[in-house]
Amino acid sequence: MNFLIDNNLAPSLALHLINAGHHACHVREMVLHHASDEAIFEHAAQHQRVIISQDTDFGTILASRRVRLPSVILFRCTRRSADSLGPILLANLPAVVGDLESGSLVVIDDTSVRVRRLPLL
């Protein structure tokens, strides 16, 4: 899968995904670190990337646009370092990969993983 990691997460989170065989880049690599959430969303849609963020604004964008893609993984965990989030993401990714490919908002918190199919209504 192809992932785009938002500015509110460490660039090193991409390394966890790359080491697991995925394509991942941080918004800084794409020179989008000063871009609006809307611009990041558009970039992810155009390049078929799943957005990974802690910013709930991406859920708002999904709800207002009522689109099926791009999918968004939203972290709501108390632990925020890439070394903490990377293993959590990789442990849960196999269970949600089909949902992400079809279009979903996946929320990962300290105790659960919730999936909402897109478009959000």
> What is the predicted pLDDT for the residue at 81?
85
pLDDT, tens digit (0-9, with 9 covering 90-100), for 18-39: 999 999 999 999 999 899 999 9
Quote the pTM value: 0.96
- pLDDT of 56 reads 94
State the pLDDT confidence band at 13, using cuts at 50, 70 and 90: very high
- In this model, does residue 82 exceed pLDDT 90? no
pLDDT in tens, 32-60: 989 999 999 999 999 999 999 999 999 99
Q: Name all contacts of 72-80 with Cβ < 8 Å and 24+ positions apart.
A: 72/105, 72/106, 73/100, 73/106, 73/108, 74/105, 74/106, 74/107, 74/108, 75/9, 75/108, 75/109, 76/107, 76/108, 76/109, 76/110, 77/108, 77/109, 77/110, 78/110, 79/110, 80/9, 80/54
pLDDT band at 115; cut points 50, 70, 90: very high
